[in-house]
Amino acid sequence: MSSEIYKDIILDYYRNPRNFGDLPEPDVRAKDSNPLCGDIIEMQLKIKDGRVDDIRFKGKGCAISQASASMLTEAVKGKTLDEIKAMGKPYVLELLGIDPGPTRIKCALLGLKVLKLSVYGYLGQAVTEEVKQLV
Amino acid sequence: MVEKVTTINVSKLREDFPVLKRLVNGKPLIYFDNAATSQKPESVIETTDRYYREYNANIHRGIHKLAEEATLAHEEAREKIAKFIHAKHTEEIIFTRNATEAINLVAYSWGRANVGKGDKIVLTIMEHHSNTVPWQLLAQEKGATVEYVKIDNDGMLRLEEVHEIIDEKTKIVCVTQASNVLGTINPVKEIGKVAHRYGAMFLVDAAQSVPHMRVDVRDIDCDFFAFSGHKMLGPTGIGVLHGKSEHLRRMPPFLGGGEMIREVHTTGSLWKDIPYKYEAGTPNIVGAIGLGAAVDYLSKIGMENVYEHEREIAKYAIGRMSEVKDLTLYGPRDIAQRVGVLSFNLGDIHAHDLASILDEDGIAIRSGHHCAQPLMEFLNVPAMSRASFYIYNTREEVDVFINALEKARKLFAR
């Protein structure tokens, strides 16, 4: 692992998070934390015709967790709920453009987990083991 | 200014620790995570290795040569540990897995027999989870309450609260001798006197003190005293509970099974005398023997010298850290009030990010809540970084560490 993981773009998203804050009337919201370090992410979604119409996130934690959550909110606008359900670790790593290594990967995946929790919550479906084990 | 800092020949001593020769990310390892676990000297590694190679056997009931040797070595380790902490009797030393299990032993055995509805258990806000959760479980089960002595702005216990909180309802007072986050050394002897005045028991969590300073359980006059082997150069999986023999004789067993019984009948069983009454099942024989070797190593250096060396390193580090912009250091400023555990935050850099950046330079620090969430909540700090020192750490390592902090600060200032 090296500080190459702290590329300008990641620090930029950490310092100036996109889509940070609250939605006026979200259709669904979800929140989770990483017990290892206490990172917290909350996501709020507006859903229209089975797609993400609008999205915001809030949170506290390390640069990796906050930047990846912010990048994810930008990337999933307009995506279908099925597309989000199909997303995995490779999708997040590609967004970040780095591999944070085995001890920090959970920081990077917290945003995806909360996004998926939102989608399953909206659909009223049970959360899969795969999602539970992301972080 | 150059001053004589230590009577320890650190560069010679470092040769005793094989892992210190290691490179991490191409840089010499700088191990500042000693409050989590210490590194092991050759003598401990050799001693444990020799047990498996030469006299591996189960202890106590074997008649053959190997069993005799293993039993002797195991019990010799108990004696060394008893002397090391100045216990009155060797049989007051009970081997456990770690400090956590030692505290749980007291909470389950003594606690369930002596704590009832409306009773009070007194802790401090700076306790490690291992000295918090067992008491919360006991309190929940028995309908007792748990109260916490708070700290002042300097990270010192509010002694006036000790006097306010401990009362006739208090059944036990449990206090860490040295905080694993703030480094604060608590006046355990004084707190114990207050507990005893009200007829309460007094337990000391010594996980962060025994490895780093001379301790004397008779002088502290504690009823129970718990610590781990792996933080004091010993193997993992071995810990110690020291208890006053009059309590240990009276308390019910903790775990039941082999090794701890005198007679077993279908109608019931008789226990062995202490310490074996609390050591059910085949123990961690090699762990105990290895811990004995660790105690030998520390005794040879002298705990006063260990303490002095770490204090000098900590003093130097505090001085250098105070030069780093935006660095917040937690815990007492007065070096006489603390052990070599320095928790800090650097600007708004999250502790985990900082640990990642330092790891690039081969520097091992800890980051997070340090198993002390009530304290983090009290201080309203979500996470901290922590550098903690031991006998093998040097000023030069502190200099590399400071440079890495500056690098991190600049990286995040972009």
Nearest chain B Cα to A14, which residue? Answer: B412
What pLDDT was estimated at residue A36?
75
What pLDDT was estimated at residue B1?
45
With an 8 Å Cβ cutoff, are B411 and A104 in contact?
Answer: no
Domain ranges of chain A: 3-121
ipTM: 0.85
What pLDDT was estimated at residue B6?
53
Backbone dihedral region for residue A13 (phi beyond 0: left; psi -120 to 50: alpha; all else: beta)? alpha
What pLDDT was estimated at residue B12?
96
Query: Pick the catalytic residue: B174, B215, B288, B371?
Result: B371
Asked about B222 being catalytic, the answer comes back as: no
Of A6, A38, A107, the CB nearest to B382: A38
What per-residue string of b and e applies to A40-75 under the rule 16 or more CB within 10 Å gives b?
bbbbbbbbeeebbebbbbbbebbbbbbbbbbbbbeb
A29: helix, strand or coil: strand
The low-confidence residues of chain B, meaning pLDDT below 70, are 1-6, 414
Domain ranges of chain B: 10-31+302-413, 45-299
A92-132 pLDDT, tens digit per residue, is 999 999 888 888 899 999 999 999 999 999 999 999 999 99
- DSSP bridge pairs for A58: A42
Nearest chain A Cα to B412, which residue? Answer: A11
**How many interchain CB pairs under 8 A, A with B?**
53
* CATH annotation of B45-299: 3.40.640.10
Query: CA-to-CA distance for A31 and B263, rounded, in angstroms?
Result: 56
B133-156 pLDDT, tens digit per residue, is 999 999 999 999 999 999 999 999
Of A2, A62, A107, the CB nearest to B25: A2
Interface check B406 vs A, CB under 8 A: no
* Distance from the B22 Cα atom to the nearest Cα atom in chain A, whole angstroms: 17
What pLDDT was estimated at residue A6?
85
B6-40 pLDDT, tens digit per residue, is 578 999 999 999 999 999 999 999 999 999 999 99
A20-64 pLDDT, tens digit per residue, is 999 999 999 999 998 777 789 999 999 999 999 999 999 999 999
Structure tokens at B115: 């704590």
In this structure, which topology does domain A3-121 adopt according to CATH? Sufe protein. Chain: A (3.90.1010)
Query: CA-to-CA distance for B170 and A105, rounded, in angstroms?
Result: 46
Cβ within 8 Å of residue B179, ≥6 positions away: B126, B155, B186, B208, B331, B341, B372, B375
Superfamily of domain B10-31+302-413: Aspartate Aminotransferase, domain 1 (3.90.1150.10)
B212: helix, strand or coil: coil
With an 8 Å Cβ cutoff, are B359 and A38 in contact?
Answer: no
Confidence of residue A4 (pLDDT cuts 50, 70, 90): confident
